[in-house]
Structure 1
Amino acid sequence: MPDDTAQGFDRWRCQFEANRHRRDPDWNQGAEIPAVLAASLARFQVGEGGDGDGMIRAATRAGDGYLAAARLFVGEERDHARLLGRLLAAGGRPAIAAHWSDAAFRSLRWRAGLRREVMVLTVAEVCALRYYEAIRDGADDQLTREVAARILADEEEHVPFHVHRLRLDLFSLPAPARVALAAAWWALAIPSAAVVAVDHRGALRLLGVPAGRYLTETLRLFGSVTRATLTPEPVGAEDRPVRAGPADGPGPAV
């Protein structure tokens, strides 16, 4: 059985704790952010700053080791919102208070148990990976690239963290239950990635990533995440880094 002790999540806690001590970028250099990208970043900022209290409440029943790591994870997500807010301010661009896509994700997580909470979060994190990679690689502005690179590096740790948690919960399920769960997960992931592709298509096009390519690559990555999560034998998949970009083909394989 996978390790559910404090030591099982110690490396995540240590990583998230170390991240708290990083220096901010030099905001004084300012930023030149095109309007279409600024509007896109503002929408992502709302999602990054989402309420993590529900996850923390659910995590209290999952052991002290996971709870400590989960608290730090939530803090890191909130720091992403802060970084994006500072970036927008450095570029003289406004933030927004709310967006319908964030409200939709919040509704899915409302009073959810830990399993559903983490599964919904994982979908959001996977959708974010290719987005931040596109900004890191395609933005003209140095500060924008720097902020995106930092957030992307964090998100590449967040997904394996969630996989680790889910494998503890799901590894003993019989094959039919895993197939059903994979299908439900895909039923959330496909429209979620499509919404990002359509809603942010102008920014993605500016960054050199057509919406269709974003959608295809995000779903390929999600396919690798579902397999890592739902493989019935403990294979240490949660210890493998997650990278944006091309991956194995999509599909609810288990």
Structure 2
Amino acid sequence: MVVNPIAAVMNPQIFPLTGAVSQARTAFADSASGRGSADCEACAMTLRPPTDMPDQVFDGWVGHFAANRARGEAIEAGVDWDTAADLPENVRTAVIRSFQRFELGEGGEGLHLLRTARGQSAAPREALRMLAAEEQRHSTLFKRGLQYLGADTVTTHRSDEVFTRLRRSLGLRTELALFLAAEAVAMPYFVVLARSGPDEVMSAIGTRIALDEEHHLAFQIDQLRPGFVRMPTPVRGVVFLAWWCVAVGAATVVAIDHRAALRVCGLPVRSFWGAALRSLRRAAGATLSRE
């Protein structure tokens, strides 16, 4: 059976809250074996044996990002952006504060990553450019959601500033690793927003972003995995522990900053925190695996 990706996000039996990366990899496996949708074919490289990431693999990701733009536009076209938001004030306030912080964070994601990749060949640069464009689109979606709610964006937030400075002080590979941790931790938020957002507009924003982010995780796993293949097991264990420490901090910050919005969507803060760490564990495990 071919699973419709939008239905998968909305159906907890098909797309469990804590299994975003697992669901993505299952779709890629189906594609690689010929059982899945052609839409996922470009992403099947995640399950290949570790390689040095030849340009052909990046070409596959370029094809995916090109096709994904049309899929995302189709989701957005089905949203009635002109309707007036009819939400209780406490719900509206919770979502506004959450969207303001995500809009700020997503707006800067990918751009510095693209600048640090200037020394790479054309195919990797183009794939990273298209990844950055999707992140910018997410920022635009959060901004559009804020407009729908009658609110403005913000220009700065302390937790975003700290994380951004940390990422930008490091090299491309380490920045990708932190980027992977941040997206893995945020994934349960996007999924629950898609599944249980307070209205159809909020759910559509969550759906578009959740579908994009599962592929962003797979792309980052593809980029990072070759660098860990030949590392001794103890070294990979240390890397995992470092990732875990970052994830604990990031999950705690997101849980605190977005706790009201999580509750609006029916997800207790403690449940989000556990789901975020499980999401990171799956992503890090796939990156460090030699299988």
Q: TM-score, normalised by structure 2?
A: 0.76
Post-superposition offset of 1:3? 4.2
Q: Which residue of structure 2 aligns with residue 242 of structure 1?
A: none
> Which aligned pairs between 1:26-175 and structure 2 lie closer than 5 A?
26-32=80-86, 34-50=92-108, 52-175=110-233
SS in 2 for 1:93: coil
Would you say 1:4 and 2:53 are equivalent positions? yes
SS in 1 for 2:119: coil
Quick one: higher RCO (CA 8 Å, sep 6+), 1 or 2? 2
- Out of 204-213 and 108-117, give the one that drifted further: 108-117
Query: Per-residue displacement from partner, 1:4-27 (whole Å, max 9, x unpaired)?
Result: 211112222112122334243432
Distance 1:189 1:5, change over 3 A: same
Query: Per-residue displacement from partner, 1:24-80 (whole Å, max 9, x unpaired)?
Result: 343223434511111111111111101533211332334332211101001110110
Would you say 1:211 and 2:260 are equivalent positions? no
Post-superposition offset of 1:161? 0.5
Query: Does the 8 Å CA contact 1:50/1:102 hold for their aligned counterparts?
Result: no
Would you say 1:19 and 2:68 are equivalent positions? yes
Match of 2:278 among 175, 197, 220: 220
Distance 1:4 1:120, change over 3 A: same
Long gaps (5+) in structure 2: 1-49
How many residue pairs get aligned? The number is 233
Q: Which residue of structure 1 aligns with residue 5 of structure 2?
A: none
Query: Per-residue displacement from partner, 1:88-118 (whole Å, max 9, x unpaired)?
Result: 1012122211111211111111242111110
2:155 and 2:116 map into 1 onto residues whose CA distance is: 26
Long gaps (5+) in structure 1: 236-254
Q: Which runs of 4+ in 1 moved over 4 A?
A: none
Query: Does the 8 Å CA contact 2:110/2:128 hold for their aligned counterparts?
Result: no
Q: Which amino acid aligns with 1:165?
A: Q
- Out of 16-25 and 91-100, give the one that drifted further: 16-25
Q: Which residue of structure 2 aligns with residue 251 of structure 1?
A: none
Alignment identity in percent?
34
Q: Which amino acid aligns with 1:82?
A: T
1:156 and 1:110 map into 2 onto residues whose CA distance is: 23
Post-superposition offset of 1:139? 1.7
SS in 2 for 1:28: coil
Query: Does the 8 Å CA contact 1:29/1:143 hold for their aligned counterparts?
Result: no
1:211 and 1:73 map into 2 onto residues whose CA distance is: 29
Q: Which residue of structure 1 aligns with residue 253 of structure 2?
A: 195
Query: Per-residue displacement from partner, 1:127-178 (whole Å, max 9, x unpaired)?
Result: 2211111211222211111111001100011001000000022211112221
2:143 and 2:111 map into 1 onto residues whose CA distance is: 21
Query: Does the 8 Å CA contact 2:167/2:175 hold for their aligned counterparts?
Result: yes
SS in 2 for 1:20: helix
Q: Which residue of structure 1 aligns with residue 42 of structure 2?
A: none
